[in-house]
Each structure stands twice: as C-alpha cells, then as structure tokens.
Amino acid sequence: YCRLRWQLKQTAKAALVHGLKSVDVMVKGPGSGREAAIRALQACGIDVTSIRDVTPVPHNGCRPPKRRRV
C-alpha cells in the first residue's frame, strides 16, 4: 500500500512538471484505492474535473454451476 501511494504521488508530480493542470478521472473496479487515488491527485494540486466509473458490469454473465444435491 505504501509503495503504491508513493508511486501515485510521484506520477502526479511528474504530470505537474509536464504542465498538466486538470484531469478527467476514470476508475475501474471496487476498492478503497479509488478514493485514495483521487484524493492524492487533488492533494498534489491537480484539478479533477470529472470522475467516471467504468467498472465492467456483465449484462447476463456466465452460467452458474449446477446446484449441489445431497
């Protein structure tokens, strides 16, 4: 967790050096890291203009296994 947080801060600082001022954030999947990543971007001074959830949701999904009969 600590290494990931360090990498995210380094990435945000590198983006600022290259002149990035605002971002559109697209997050995928569940977890507590989604909010932490967005907060880290905002803490480094990058303006988050929009947040979009692009988690893949199955329309029907795979067929479940047969029921177990005892």
Domain that residue 38 falls in: 2-53
| Chain mean pLDDT for the chain | 84
pLDDT score of 3 = 59
In this structure, are residues 28 and 55 in contact, taking their beta carbons and an 8 Å threshold?
A: yes
Q: What is the pLDDT of residues 18-50, one digit of tens each?
A: 888 888 999 988 888 888 888 888 888 889 999
- Classify residue 64: in a domain, yes or no: no
Domain at 9, CATH number: 3.30.420.80
* Number of structural domains found in the chain: 1
pTM higher than the cut 0.75: no
**Rounded Cα–Cα distance for residues 55 and 38 (Å):** 16
- Classify residue 58: in a domain, yes or no: no
